[in-house]
Chain A
């Protein structure tokens, strides 16, 4: 009797596709269409942004139009199937990795439960193996003998409008974080499958605004926000002024200075958005204390490269800008700030895409003499590598008690951790700049780190629910250290993280702040002739910068 009621209860609460009664969908995944509704897709790119990108030499963004995922008719070009199949054929020929990834998966499922989107949604198409299968099924159908002969039995299917819609849904429910790749016995880089899906969709004029607008801004003015040189300069100048108010030290920074030893490039978000501003203050304070011969650039004013989330040609173009500027200014090498995906582009694509950067020198720290041979090809050093080396040689002094107001944990940002292996330097820095910090559980850090859930240009507000789902695994691990140790700050080395983890914490763990590592470095740094401003701490006692660079004075 009771179970009969339970069944009735189940039926009464079942309306949508998420059946309370059935764990396994009764339909095969190929027959389950993608259903779009407000909140589960990012808004399409504005027509003029697509047209602008298409007008640029070397870029291909055809079929610009006004369309909506909510409408049945996506206004695809007439020969859309031909465009996709030719596009796929071209890419299979051009990228050997894609051909291998299409062929070598044995569907073992090792990746299936490693994706934060799957873990947050329970949607099987968010299992990396199945997400890749969305493309692989088309590949089999049109490019393999088995698929041509046996069709569906061989896991093949025909290209339909439904497939395009599915591609759009799921290639934008992947942040290219590459956690799944860590577990793949064949080393399949599922992020590259997503990249190909997005490239193919762009051939049909299908893309999202949150990616294409920053990308076109970056192409036009040098940064995502479209800030013009004078505005970018003003922003950095104001940060320097604030820093002078806080520390009593006048900051001597320069812009576009030819002959500087080092070019410094960081994500533009560090210059205009909280909490990245404090990270930028950290860079300014550190470089001032060192007397570093460096320059900012108002042309290469963006480390982020939304081309990575768009197409290989755009990625190459945006990356090329940084090196063109380094060449123009005649610097010896580049120091890069706390950015995430910039470092994937630098470490995994830059050398064969725009390299070799043989007009630059292998980075050598002017303070310690250390030669960064790990950056011999790219000529670009991560700020954390640079800082950790300074600490190692005792070249900077810290007072960790200046960070006594925070008890941080460290979030390994996906790309620095998995794409460049930057795992120990940030931890070494933390050991020296804060009185105490704690690690999150082992299976959520280092190369197994969970994504913030909003990377690859998915940090737009219209998909906030989706972002909260995909960010659950990360937030869940943070909650654990909050409950167990009283952690109140989530530190990281990525600008997208600083923006998106803030919203993620505001939902899952209110009260936990987010900061860049260089902010903590700046807070604790002892500067020559400093006179730190006074402020009031949480208990109402007056003391020097009780909230570090965030102190209101």
Chain B
């Protein structure tokens, strides 16, 4: 109960630090951190929205399946940017350390650090889910690329007749789970 209250009290502060840490991974991140309009600033806006939602889930013993939606929001972006896999997923870890640091500075709540096991386990699960999403996004990216090449090649090599593109095999190709 006491820990729940601490999470509620520090939610804003932890999430802000977490978002800040995550956005620091970009070469030029001042604007990403400052602008809150999700449409003017898709990377910053989505990261903030996603991590805010995720933090709530991590602290309320939620079903790990619920992590996927907010994680997808941030991992779909990081998966196609200039990050290695560990760089893309890494910032999800950070919330553990940020939370410890913030609680540590509060003398009255410092003892709650010993109770963070469930929270930190949830973060571990989120990190694993983030890695799955990273891989899914990469595979999807390659499928999109293959689909683009195949549709083009088909037109150029097999067809002077555009209506042949309506053939069933192409239709099936389009339905690949992308």
Q: B135 an interface residue at 8 Å Cβ cutoff?
A: no
Query: Inside 8 A of B124's CB, which chain A residues have their CB?
Result: none
From B29, B97, B178, name the one whose CB has the most chain A CB atoms within 10 angstroms.
B97
Is there contact, CB below 8 Å, between A20 and B28? no
CA–CA, A510 and B141, complex, Å: 12
Is there contact, CB below 8 Å, between B144 and A507? yes
Q: A66 an interface residue at 8 Å Cβ cutoff?
A: no
Is there contact, CB below 8 Å, between A1 and B161? no
Given A23-B26, A468-B141, answer yes or no on A122-B43 (Cβ-Cβ < 8 Å): yes
Q: Give the interface segment out of A194-202, A271-279, A401-409.
A: A271-279
Is there contact, CB below 8 Å, between B28 and A465? no
Q: B42 an interface residue at 8 Å Cβ cutoff?
A: yes
Query: Inside 8 A of A464's CB, which chain B residues have their CB?
Result: 141, 144-145, 148
Is there contact, CB below 8 Å, between A476 and B100? no
Whole-angstrom distance from the CB of A108 to the nearest CB of chain B? 14
Is there contact, CB below 8 Å, between B27 and A122? yes
Is there contact, CB below 8 Å, between B97 and A2? yes
Q: B77 an interface residue at 8 Å Cβ cutoff?
A: yes
Whole-angstrom distance from the CB of B160 to the nearest CB of chain A? 5
A-B pair number, CB within 8 angstroms: 172
Question: Which B137-178 residues have a C-beta within 8 angstroms of A?
Answer: 137, 140-141, 143-145, 147-149, 151-152, 155-156, 160-163, 165-166, 171, 178
Q: A57 an interface residue at 8 Å Cβ cutoff?
A: no
Q: B4 an interface residue at 8 Å Cβ cutoff?
A: no
Query: Inside 8 A of A122's CB, which chain B residues have their CB?
Result: 26-29, 32, 43, 81
Q: B101 an interface residue at 8 Å Cβ cutoff?
A: yes
Is there contact, CB below 8 Å, between A23 and B29? yes
Whole-angstrom distance from the CB of A237 to the nearest CB of chain B? 9
Question: Which A34-79 residues have a C-beta within 8 angstroms of B?
Answer: 40
Q: Interface digits, A355-371 against B, CB 8 Å rule (1 contact, 0 not)? A: 00000000000000000
Question: Which A241-264 residues have a C-beta within 8 angstroms of B?
Answer: 241-242
CA–CA, A234 and B155, complex, Å: 13
Given A2-B100, A16-B84, answer yes or no on A119-B41 (Cβ-Cβ < 8 Å): yes
Whole-angstrom distance from the CB of A120 to the nearest CB of chain B? 7
Q: Interface digits, A421-441 against B, CB 8 Å rule (1 contact, 0 not)? A: 000000000000000000001
Q: Interface digits, A1-35 against B, CB 8 Å rule (1 contact, 0 not)? A: 11101100110111111111111110000000000
Is there contact, CB below 8 Å, between B35 and A113? yes
Q: Which of B24, B43, B100, B178 contacts A120 (CB 8 A)?
A: B43
> Which B-chain residue is minimally distant from A507 (CB atoms)?
B144
CA–CA, A444 and B162, complex, Å: 34
Given A121-B82, A277-B165, answer yes or no on A6-B97 (Cβ-Cβ < 8 Å): yes
Is there contact, CB below 8 Å, between A113 and B141? no
> Which B-chain residue is minimally distant from A504 (CB atoms)?
B144
Query: Inside 8 A of A22's CB, which chain B residues have their CB?
Result: 24
Interface size class of B (residues with CB under 8 A): 35 or more
Is there contact, CB below 8 Å, between B140 and A507? yes
What is the interface of chain B mostly: helix, strand, loop, or mixed? helix
Is there contact, CB below 8 Å, between B43 and A119? yes
Whole-angstrom distance from the CB of B45 to the nearest CB of chain A? 8
Is there contact, CB below 8 Å, between A14 and B97? no
Is there contact, CB below 8 Å, between B46 and A1? no
Query: Inside 8 A of A121's CB, which chain B residues have their CB?
Result: 26, 81-82
Is there contact, CB below 8 Å, between A472 and B87? no
Q: B36 an interface residue at 8 Å Cβ cutoff?
A: no
Q: Which of B28, B80, B87, B151 contacts A24 (CB 8 A)?
A: B28
Whole-angstrom distance from the CB of B140 to the nearest CB of chain A? 6
Is there contact, CB below 8 Å, between A473 and B81? no
Query: Inside 8 A of A469's CB, which chain B residues have their CB?
Result: 80-81
Query: Inside 8 A of A373's CB, which chain B residues have their CB?
Result: none
Q: Interface digits, A215-230 against B, CB 8 Å rule (1 contact, 0 not)? A: 0000000000100000
Query: Inside 8 A of B97's CB, which chain A residues have their CB?
Result: 2-3, 5-6, 9
Is there contact, CB below 8 Å, between A272 and B43? no
Is there contact, CB below 8 Å, between A465 and B148? no
Q: Which of A14, A272, A552 contacts B87 (CB 8 A)?
A: A14
> Which B-chain residue is minimally distant from A274 (CB atoms)?
B165
Is there contact, CB below 8 Å, between A242 and B163? yes
Given A9-B90, A12-B86, A476-B46, answer yes or no on A20-B144 (Cβ-Cβ < 8 Å): no
23 CB contacts below 8 A, A to B, read: A2-B99, A3-B101, A6-B94, A13-B87, A17-B82, A18-B25, A18-B27, A20-B24, A23-B29, A23-B30, A119-B42, A121-B26, A122-B27, A123-B28, A234-B161, A443-B39, A461-B149, A464-B141, A465-B141, A476-B38, A476-B42, A477-B39, A506-B140
**Chain B contact residues, CB within 8 Å of chain A:** 21, 23-33, 35, 37-43, 46, 76-77, 80-84, 86-87, 90-91, 93-94, 96-101, 104, 137, 140-141, 143-145, 147-149, 151-152, 155-156, 160-163, 165-166, 171, 178
**Chain A contact residues, CB within 8 Å of chain B:** 1-3, 5-6, 9-10, 12-25, 40, 112-113, 118-124, 127, 225, 231, 234-235, 238-239, 241-242, 271-274, 277, 441, 443-444, 461, 464-465, 468-469, 472-473, 476-477, 480, 502-503, 506-508, 510, 552
